Amino acid sequence: MQSPVLVLKDSLTRESGSKVHHQNIQASKAVADIIRTTLGPRSMLKMLLDASGGIVVTNDGNAILRELDIAHPAAKSMIELSRTQDEEVGDGTTSVIVLAGEMLHVAEAFIDKKYHPTVICRAYVKALEDALAVLDKISMSIDVNDRSMMLGLVKSCIGTKFTSQFGDLIADLALDATTTVGVDLGQGIKEVDIKKYIKVEKIPGGQLEDSKVLKGVMFNKDVVVPGKMKRKIINPRVILLDCPLEYKKGENQTNAELVREEDWAVLLKMEEEYIENLCVQILKFKPDLVITEKGLSDLACHYFSKAGVSAIRRLRKTDNNRIAKACGAVIVNRPDELQESDVGTGAGLFEVKKIGDEFFAFIVDCKDPKACTVLLRGASKDLLNEVERNLQDAMSVARNILKHPKLVPGGGATELTVSATLKQKSSSVEGIEKWPYEAAAVAVIIFGFCFFDHLGLGYLVLVVEFVCHMMASMLLNVDEKTMLASFRVCFCANVLGIASNATAAAS
């Protein structure tokens, strides 16, 4: 078989070897340098223009990186690393990029010394295993039923965010939402699906303090016939459908040849009888509210309003799933398959309210809701978008604590401990892998103290102070208030899952 012929430009060049390694490292370091200033207790906000011309003001690493238009493959891999951290853990997106950048930075010297990349990778894998063991060793178990402690933990994790001045409010919202949707699977295992069963509804207007967690679901819909259907029902019986309540159209083009005028009336009567039969099958369960994801014909609306039943049509699938979790209903595909057990009776109130220029339906005061809605109020859309990002991080932290109730000290204490342990163990590593292994310890400590520059502190002075205290086997940290005068132990700054995943991903 003849090999293909490629026509390339005369100026095209192909590069390989250490030169490509250096280019990849430089590209990765450039990405890390972009968001380095957004890390730590004095993190800076960045103002960006998104693809549609809108303004994004944030210090969230993943939100910043996804707005960048990057062509270099190594830089794209760094952005993908941040996205994966956000999906799997929900927080630590900036940390994982900065740590990965430092790991690559210290590896560059070994590329110059003709170390094979495989040797460096093997040393990093060993350092990763030892670092995870250290994290597990210094982690502390906590009681997830202690609300005051849980609030302190969540609040400390959003202390570097834009909404840190509203830390108590955001922590309350995040903890209430995650505990609402948490499901105990037994044997100490909990399932907390914040993406599927927690909806954040942003409505401009009012103050941020007006935000609250609804024990139920709200969505941007009104009843189909506002004048004839009730907008407020106490203890409603709810039926959820994902099928249309209208005459079924033919799959292909259907032609009907009518000879007499009466034949047209017969066709209309058949359509009416079909819809009436669907409504009768639903109404025999005496519902107060019928919600469908598909269409609802005018004739079906007539039968429902005549029976005193409120109806909502064309609801999103995600909202329908949340309603089912909140009120205990079961989504049904066909009305003739309805059973009494499919009717939701867990809701305490159905109400339609007008907020601004739009109508919102509320199904709240549920008995045992496993889905909820966080209603955010604020002055502008830009503010609400950033509050939502911070709230998502807070809910992710609360979820991680509920699933794995362990913490590690923050404020640089964990990084210093890991670095000191790796430095100590490097003497037992045999062969040329010893030097990349030891360099990993240097990268960890540089990452741990990179935010000192934002505090206006001397980097080397603090490192020396920390090392001196570390020799006394003390877990210490630093923040923007207690610099060098008095060190204190911080037990509520880092969730073990976030630290472990960030370390593993960066390595």
pLDDT at position 502 over 60: no
**Comparing C-alpha atoms, which of 299, 295, 300 is closest to residue 315?**
295
pLDDT at position 464 over 80: no
Mean pLDDT for 406-420 is 78
pLDDT at position 499 over 50: no
Q: How confident is the model at residue 12 (pLDDT cuts 50, 70, 90)?
A: low
- Catalytic residue numbers read 60, 93-94, 393
CATH superfamily of the 18-140+408-475+486-506 domain:
GroEL-like equatorial domain (1.10.560.10)
For residue 349, give the 3-state DSSP assignment: strand
Helix (DSSP H) and strand (DSSP E) numbers for the chain = 17, 18
Mean pLDDT for 221-226 is 92
pLDDT at position 144 over 70: yes
pLDDT at position 497 over 60: no
What letter does residue 386 receive in the DSSP assignment?
Answer: H
pLDDT at 492: 35
**Comparing C-alpha atoms, which of 391, 348, 390, 363 is closest to residue 176?**
391
How many CA atoms, within 13 angstroms, populate the side-chain half-sphere of residue 55? Answer: 9
pLDDT at position 451 over 80: no
pLDDT at 273: 86
pLDDT at 37: 82
Token pair for 252: 């292909």
First to last CA, the chain: 43
In percent, the amount of the chain with pLDDT more than 90 equals 23
Phi, psi of 228 (to 5 degrees): -115, -15
Are the beta carbons of 334 and 240 closer than 8 angstroms? no
**What is d(CA 452, CA 479) in angstroms, rounded to the nearest whole number?**
9
pLDDT at 448: 66
**12 contacts: CB under 8 Å, gap ≥ 6:** none
Residue 444 vs residues 39, 127, 191, 198, 207: alpha-carbon distances, Å: 15, 10, 32, 35, 41
**What is d(CA 338, CA 331) in angstroms, rounded to the nearest whole number?**
9
pLDDT at 402: 84
Give the least confident one: 73-77, 98-102, 256-260.
Answer: 256-260
Would you list the DSSP string of 392-404? HHHHHHHHHHHHS
**261 contacts: CB under 8 Å, gap ≥ 6:** none
pLDDT at 480: 45
Amino acid, single-letter form, for residue 173: L
Higher pLDDT, 295 or 8: 295
Phi/psi-derived region of residue 493, left when phi > 0, alpha when psi is between -120 and 50, beta in every other case: alpha
Using alpha carbons only, what angle is made at residue 83 by residues 132 and 57, rounded to the nearest 5 degrees? 115
pLDDT at 213: 92
Q: How confident is the model at residue 93 (pLDDT cuts 50, 70, 90)?
A: confident
Q: How confident is the model at residue 452 (pLDDT cuts 50, 70, 90)?
A: low
pLDDT at 458: 57
Give the least confident one: 183-192, 200-209, 445-454.
Answer: 445-454
pLDDT at position 134 over 70: yes
How many CA atoms, within 13 angstroms, populate the side-chain half-sphere of residue 443? Answer: 29
What are the helix (H) ranges across 3-146?
18-35, 61-65, 73-88, 93-112, 117-138
pLDDT at 491: 32
The single residue listed with the structure tokens 């109400």 is: 351
Four-point Cα dihedral 411, 498, 507, 112, nearest 10: -30
Q: Per-domain residue ranges for the chain? A: 18-140+408-475+486-506, 143-215+375-404, 217-249+269-368
Give the least confident one: 4-18, 106-120, 273-287, 324-338.
Answer: 4-18
pLDDT at position 197 over 60: yes
Using alpha carbons only, what angle is made at residue 380 by residues 377 and 381, rounded to the nearest 5 degrees? 90
In percent, the amount of the chain with pLDDT more than 70 equals 85
Query: For residue range 228-283, what is the model confidence (pLDDT) as tens digits?
Result: 899 999 999 999 999 888 887 766 677 777 777 777 777 778 888 888 899 999 99
| Fold of the CATH domain 217-249+269-368 | GroEL (3.50.7)
Q: How confident is the model at residue 456 (pLDDT cuts 50, 70, 90)?
A: low
pLDDT at 1: 56
The single residue listed with the structure tokens 């010297």 is: 109
Q: pTM of the entire structure?
A: 0.79
Token pair for 375: 């209603």
Would you list the DSSP string of 281-317? HHHTT--SEEEESS-B-HHHHHHHHHTT-EEE-S--H
Higher pLDDT, 466 or 295: 295
CATH 3.30.260.10 for the 143-215+375-404 domain, yes or no: yes
pLDDT at 271: 81
**Share of the chain residues as helix, strand and coil, in percent rounded to the nearest 5:** 50, 15, 35
pLDDT at position 74 over 80: yes
Q: How confident is the model at residue 161 (pLDDT cuts 50, 70, 90)?
A: confident
Query: For residue range 25-50, what is the model confidence (pLDDT) as tens digits?
Result: 898 888 888 888 887 777 778 888 87
Are the beta carbons of 171 and 154 closer than 8 angstroms? yes
pLDDT at 406: 82
Amino acid, single-letter form, for residue 274: Y
Query: For residue range 319-368, what is the model confidence (pLDDT) as tens digits?
Result: 999 999 999 999 999 888 899 999 999 999 999 999 888 999 999 999 88
**What is d(CA 297, CA 245) in angstroms, rounded to the nearest whole number?**
6
Q: How confident is the model at residue 495 (pLDDT cuts 50, 70, 90)?
A: very low
Q: How confident is the model at residue 484 (pLDDT cuts 50, 70, 90)?
A: very low
